[in-house]
Structure 1
Amino acid sequence: MTIHIDHHPDQNHAGDEIVEKNQGNVKEQETEHVLDGGFVAPHTNSFGHTFRDYDAESGRRRSVEDFYRTNHIGQTVDFVKRMREAYGKLNRTEMSIWECCELLNEFIDESDPDLDEPQIEHLLQTAEAIRKDYPDEDWLHLTGLIHDLGKVLLHPSFGELPQWAVVGDTYPVGCAFDESIVHHKYFKENPDYDNPSYNTKYGIYTEGCGLDNVFMSWGHDDYMYLVAKENETTLPSASLFIIRYHSFYALHKSEAYKHLMNNEDRENMKWLKVFNKYDLYSKSKFRINVEEVKPYYLSLINKYFPGKLKW
């Protein structure tokens, strides 16, 4: 049975109230942030720096910048179309959601300045933080668990794509690259940068066309969205929106590209802003007991997905 967002208490104003509550309750202290339902998040990441600080001196600063240079050069309209065509066939393998979670244990995201733990740790940290603050929204708990599963594209059985084609912030291609995108300067080396069909505000799109009609840079977000949608998940549209756009920081942090959104996007955006805080601030050295929480998440997987999925 599909769970709809409008079942949330006081849904007519839920998103707005959540945002207002967050603005009033998020307290910047010396060492921590306090989010919606009392989740205490660290003020600094695993390396002792503020979150998403791409200029902070750390052991990963140079590698992260090198990653984005390669990413910004390679993510073209042609590349994105080819990847969506190839991976949209979902003919690589069949496996369950939990099997996919376990595959991620061996990978670390080279684009992330905040974390160097295996991905399964981050997935469970995110899901458990949401579960604590939103106990009745089980679809959101599961979204926290699966939002990064598209990173299996790094695995040899999925073609072992390079990290620049799997992780990192996402953004539209086919229109001008907004200056709010991290390490924007490297787009000047992208073949689409000087293409008059692609380098204007709207490019190949129109006002309010809807993000579903926009080509996003290829990576784990778009891939997991395709997997969930084509395997006929019963998760609500807000969940699919979160999965597809959770790395679209130019939109949900800087409010770029809002001119491409339609009404459904704006409604779903309320939930993405809720989710994003947990996706970002739950990154820490705190370890989750996987075996302890596994039965709960297996029950959610069985509720919203078939036993085996095509990938």
Structure 2
Amino acid sequence: MNILLTGGAGYIGSHILVELLNAGHYVVVVDNFCNSKIDALHRVQEITGQSFITKKLDLRDATAVEQVFKEHYYDAVIHCAGLKAVGESTQIPLTYYDNNLIGTIYLCKAMAQAGVKTLVFSSSATVYGYPATVPIDEDFPLAATNPYGRTKLFIEELLRDLAVADSSWRISLLRYFNPIGAHPSGRIGENPNGIPNNLLPYMTQVAVGKLPELHIFGNDYPTPDGTGIRDYLHVTDLARGHLCAIEQLTQWAGGMMVHNLGTGRGYSVLEMVNTFEQVTGQAVPYRIVARRPGDIAICYANPQRANQELGWTAQMNLDTMIADSWRWQVNNPHGY
């Protein structure tokens, strides 16, 4: 298929790109590189031996987005572009709303104009807010607790309205839990700007000596050891989920489907630290600090719907996720 991949130079996007190319798809990548590096795309080409087209543009540039659809025909769009740090979103909410919402609106307008109505959207488990129970099903109430999560929730509502208004749209909402790991080659991985917002890159940068210590945000949550519990899945497993969703969408006459992508198992921050030290043999000094705004205590998925409807399941265990993350960090101590 011919696929437009937005945010294809990012952490998740670059791993999706590898899977798309290895599966024989023709891909055009668009990215504004505000929180990603062109080097990631060069390395994807090296890993796969496949070529693809790259266009540097901002999705909020409506004219540029329309031009992308005039230059190429697409069977589907995978939309990963967006700002994605929970903590940062609480500090600059307008930037998040502007970037994530406006970019998606212009993308959907250009798709409709070009007659391309098959879309996989990169959503997030943050749309569930404070879940009453775990594991989390797709039909749980939605109520995000931070601006980042609300942008994902608002986009979901936007796409739901679009699908109701025009039944020829085929839309997949993939609610990611916590992707970690890296490509086993060690050539592409998570490359955050500044101090990482996510746990694994924070730990690997401490272990490699780039940062002095890990800050654990709160140890007074209602969990067995007081630290937050999350559902971690390998980024390559996550990337495969997009291929499964695309294949399933092509069999639909129209409508929307929603799937959690997670393992169904939660690990606390302290469990992650201990496992990391066991797998890598590296110490991770840490300090307990205040909770972060917008964080919740426990979040892990019920992935059964994705298993049954998409034929997808997470395959890699936590040791593999950590080993791949560490390989990436050791091979790229300063990122790209």
TM-score by length of 1: 0.28
Structure showing the higher strand proportion among its residues: 2
Greater per-residue helix proportion = 1
Q: Which of the pair has the greater relative contact order for Cα pairs under 8 Å at 6+ separation?
A: 1
With normalisation by structure 2, the TM-score equals 0.27
